[in-house]
Amino acid sequence: MNYLLNEGYESNIKVSKALGSKIYIGKKPYEDLSYGAGTLLLGHNSKVYKNIINNLKSKKISNYAAPNIYAERLSKVLYNYFDGYFKKFLFCSTGSEAVLKSIRIAKAISKKDLIVTVSGSWHGSLDQFLFFPSKSMRPECMSSGISKFYNNNLKIIPYNDINKSNKILKKFKSKIAAIIIEPIQGCLPTENAKKYLLYLQKFCDKNKIILIFDETITGVRTYEGSVHKKFKLSPSISIFGKCIGGGAPISVVGVNKKFSKKLLDLKKRVYFGGTFSANSTSAFICYETINFIKNNKKIIKNVNLKTNYVKKEINAFLKKNNLNAKVYSFESMLRIVFSNEEIINRTQRDFLEKKQDLNIIKFKKFLFKNNIYYPSNGVLFLSKDTSLINCKHLISKICLGLTKYFK
């Protein structure tokens, strides 16, 4: 008997506990590069988290599937955190659910069905988004069990490529309900996307298309609060998840002023619902986490400084030794690309990494042998608890592994 796991080099690993920067497999500690797939900016079992759980008990918070003061307070703190930009918040339990509901809102308001996604963006394990672009940018299904009709209402444009995106968008502009994008992507985190995001925003404004930013990873993790705030952009709808909940399963759809009004003006309302939507436990943990991060912004600054240090040291080593890899980062999210060519999107990454599959697995196993947990999806995170000593350890082992397999 077993539970269904994704394939991956770590499919035999069973984590038993975690503290600070370490996860434990059996009794052995491993330096974590996943932090709960980016949910734990404050580290494992942080003091903050423990205090929140203690407060949860002392306030006798149970699970209310009814409107509650904690969801109300959370809306207020989110409203302030994003400087009043979002007028309506919808609470969900996962990033995927938030994506699904944001798409429903976009279709209801626009009264159109065509959704555009951007190559390399991950929007969760949803039937309508388990597609990758073919060479000619046609959506190709990446899973069995997906109904064929999903690709009728989907177009894909290439991330960070304005010319090619423009050609596709111009062709379909009158039919598009929304463009959804992970503004900074886990598959290639880079600061160099502002121009592309601005282009999408202008195209959407001009053609009355709804722009959805999926900031499941970047929301709250970004020093300014989000990518839209950092780059001064104005999406119609944004999605937040992961570290916004400090470990609790909660995600948020934020709708801006203009589209909140349109949502209220609809003749037939958009139907939502969910047993755990806006549940008091998750709402309380999320509220306390955001308040803590808001009042301790230097934590984000420090994690970002450490991430930058790790990236710079490894890249300097790679360059000096002419190895075939390069580290990319955005705030405290990192990715090692197993090619030293300068690239701008996942399509290029996949092409260059195509022949490296075996070496990539060997590299991950090498790190695992050296007590470093490298998540199989390759999206790496540091946290408040990744100390400078941890960083130096990571740098030395990663450089050793890259020398072994990517000369």
For ligand PLP, the binding residues (CB under 6 A) are 37, 94-96, 99, 122-124, 182, 186, 214, 216-217, 241
Least distance CB 34 / ligand PLP (angstroms): 11
Identify each DSSP E strand in 123-226 by its residue range: 131-133, 139-141, 154-157, 176-181, 210-215
Tokens of 336: 């090692």
Least distance CB 122 / ligand PLP (angstroms): 5
User: In which residue are the tokens 């000593």 written?
Assistant: 389
* Residue 331 neighbours by CB under 8 Å, 6+ apart: 189, 218, 221, 222, 223, 300, 303, 304, 307
By beta-carbon proximity to ligand PLP, the closer residue of 15 and 37 is 37
Q: In what helix (H) or strand (E) does residue 24 lie, and over which residues does it extend?
A: strand 22-25
By beta-carbon proximity to ligand PLP, the closer residue of 120 and 401 is 120
Tokens of 49: 């988290």
Least distance CB 127 / ligand PLP (angstroms): 13
By beta-carbon proximity to ligand PLP, the closer residue of 182 and 331 is 182
By beta-carbon proximity to ligand PLP, the closer residue of 142 and 388 is 142
Least distance CB 136 / ligand PLP (angstroms): 25
Q: Is 168 exposed, middle or buried, given 0-12, 13-18 or 19+ CB atoms closer than 10 A?
A: middle
Least distance CB 188 / ligand PLP (angstroms): 13
Least distance CB 186 / ligand PLP (angstroms): 5
Identify each DSSP E strand in 216-313 by its residue range: 237-240, 251-256
Chain residue whose CB lies nearest ligand PLP = 95
By beta-carbon proximity to ligand PLP, the closer residue of 214 and 331 is 214
Least distance CB 266 / ligand PLP (angstroms): 25
Tokens of 130: 């388990």
Secondary structure class of 205 (helix, strand, coil) = helix
By beta-carbon proximity to ligand PLP, the closer residue of 123 and 306 is 123
**Given phi > 0 = left and psi -120 to 50 = alpha, else beta, which region is 247?**
left
Tokens of 5: 């796991």
**Number of residues that make up the chain:** 407
* Residue 222 neighbours by CB under 8 Å, 6+ apart: 215, 229, 230, 300, 331
By beta-carbon proximity to ligand PLP, the closer residue of 108 and 126 is 126
By beta-carbon proximity to ligand PLP, the closer residue of 225 and 401 is 225
Max CA distance (Å), the chain: 64
Least distance CB 251 / ligand PLP (angstroms): 6
